[in-house]
Structure 1
Amino acid sequence: MPELAGDRALLGRTSTAERVADILKSRISEGYFTPGTRLSEESIGGALGVSRNTLREAFRLLTHERLLEHRLNRGVFVRMLSTADVEDIYRTRQLVECAVVRSLGERPRPLHTVAQTVIEGRRAAHAGRWSAVSTANIHFHRELVALAGSERTDELMRGVLAELRLAFHVVADPRRLHEPYLARNAHLLKVLEAGEIRQAEELLVGYLDDSLRELLDVYGQRMADTEPGGS
């Protein structure tokens, strides 16, 4: 695994299971390890130059974060989300993101970090890099939540959005899924900049409802196609 071998330098002399987990988490987020992939202890441990015990601890940490799963007598795999998982992720998103937007009515915050993600998304779309558009959309929501100024909420949403990307990596046509939300991100930002908090919250509710429905449409079909007997 030459790609992972290049990450060995990131470990330095302070190699820990947490840092190994961070590297693997990044690779999962990028789609290098896709849902359903079995992770080989021998290959990954050799590529990163870490012990089996360290790697197993990293696997345990990522299992706790719902990114990996251990299958009895089969090994460790990148999780494949169920539709119920996706629905629960969006339920959490709506609770948190809408609460953050609502709070801006009492505590306005600078929006430049959110605006930067809109620019990031447009540049990626112009270059036809649709996985990068997906990343920019994730960044938009992460920065939106960061407006709350809460480290615990940030940590919660990092985990939720990392898990959501497992579903995104299964989708066959990322452009179809992500492109419409470039304009919706820009519109929501404009409304927030105008201080129209109630309207922004209403837009966000509709945004997340539509995103969930559209993701389930394509995700459910993709899952059906990968099951035994699927078309």
Structure 2
Amino acid sequence: MAASEAGDLTDDRVLLGRTSTAERVADILRTRVAEGYFPPGTRLSEEGIGGALGVSRNTLREAFRLLTHERLLVHELNRGVFVRVLAVDDVDDIYRTRRLVECAVVRGLGQPPYALDALAVAVGTGETAARAGDWQGVSTANIHFHRELVALAGSARTDELMRGVLAELRLAFHVVDDPRVLHEPYLARNREILDALRAGERTTAERLLVRYLDDSRARVAAAYARAVDPPAGPAD
């Protein structure tokens, strides 16, 4: 990792405050990995990151351990710590997990009306980003939509689970070279789910979500497979 890249992390030092912990360092690195600042396969420098954040090597190693447990990083013996590169099977498994959790949250909602302000903000942010041609911004807004959808359950444990699952999914997104093709079809579908929940139509929202996740799983897995294992060209 170049020194200039590590230097950019100094802006995050203020987030640590006086009570710096490995968990807070992990939060910063998790966000940076999710944003694609550290792409899959990147080796993370203890010296560069520790110096940029102003934390001890032991604190940084604990943060690395936490993110390795979340499957965002991998430790390779005698080589160091790297941002994980997913297998295609990992993408399928992530979507199976999402289907189980997200659909269960919608199915388990109580009587309407629901607290949908944050969900509506995520939909609007995605649509604004699309108009600006900011497809990475669309990706981020889409992730926020699904995090806010799960947050309707009011469960801190479920929120934590989905934070890790969705951060892991973004490892796949950063490998695919055409984010517009990947994310644009789901802008309208996010709004459909929001509108169904606004109308108190929980069953309709779940049906839309099931189709959404199944279609997204097929699209993302296929695009990811092409990116990590492109077809061989014609023989000479």
Q: What is the TM-score when the length of structure 1 is the normalising length? A: 0.94
Give every structure 1 segment of 4 or more consecutive aligned residues whose post-TM-superposition deviation is greater than 6 Å. none
The answer (yes or no) to whether the contact 1:177–1:215 under 8 Å persists in 2 is yes
The answer (yes or no) to whether the contact 1:21–1:62 under 8 Å persists in 2 is yes
Counterpart CA distance in 1 for 2:11 and 2:82 is 22
Partner of 1:9: 14
Shift of 1:153: 0.9
Shift of 1:19: 1.4
Counterpart CA distance in 2 for 1:197 and 1:131 is 30
Matched letter for residue 201 of structure 1: E
Deviations 1:162-192 (A, max 9, x none): 1111111111010110011000101111122
Gaps of 5+ in 2: 1-5
1:134-149 aligned within 5 A: 134-149=139-154
1:25 aligns with 2:30: yes
The answer (yes or no) to whether the contact 2:113–2:198 under 8 Å persists in 1 is no
Partner of 1:133: 138
1:208 aligns with 2:213: yes
1:43-122 aligned within 5 A: 43-104=48-109, 106=111, 108-122=113-127
Shift of 1:230: 5.5
**Which has the larger displacement, 100-109 or 185-194?**
100-109
SS in 1 for 2:20: coil
Deviations 1:14-66 (A, max 9, x none): 22211111111111111000001010111111211222111111110111111
**Which has the larger displacement, 5-14 or 85-94?**
5-14
Match of 1:177 among 178, 182, 186: 182
- Aligned-residue identity in percent: 70
Partner of 2:170: 165
Matched letter for residue 31 of structure 1: G
The answer (yes or no) to whether the contact 2:9–2:49 under 8 Å persists in 1 is yes
Counterpart CA distance in 2 for 1:84 and 1:132 is 26
Counterpart CA distance in 1 for 2:114 and 2:17 is 38
Counterpart CA distance in 2 for 1:100 and 1:140 is 14
Q: What is the TM-score when the length of structure 2 is the normalising length? A: 0.92
The answer (yes or no) to whether the contact 1:20–1:58 under 8 Å persists in 2 is yes
Shift of 1:154: 1.0
Shift of 1:108: 4.7
**Number of residues paired by the alignment?**
228
The answer (yes or no) to whether the contact 1:105–1:197 under 8 Å persists in 2 is no
Counterpart CA distance in 2 for 1:112 and 1:15 is 32
Deviations 1:82-117 (A, max 9, x none): 111111111111111111111225465222221111
Matched letter for residue 24 of structure 2: R
The answer (yes or no) to whether the contact 2:112–2:200 under 8 Å persists in 1 is no
RMSD: 1.5
SS in 2 for 1:34: coil
SS in 2 for 1:145: helix
Residues 230/74 of structure 1: CA separation in 2 closer, same or farther (3 Å cut) = farther
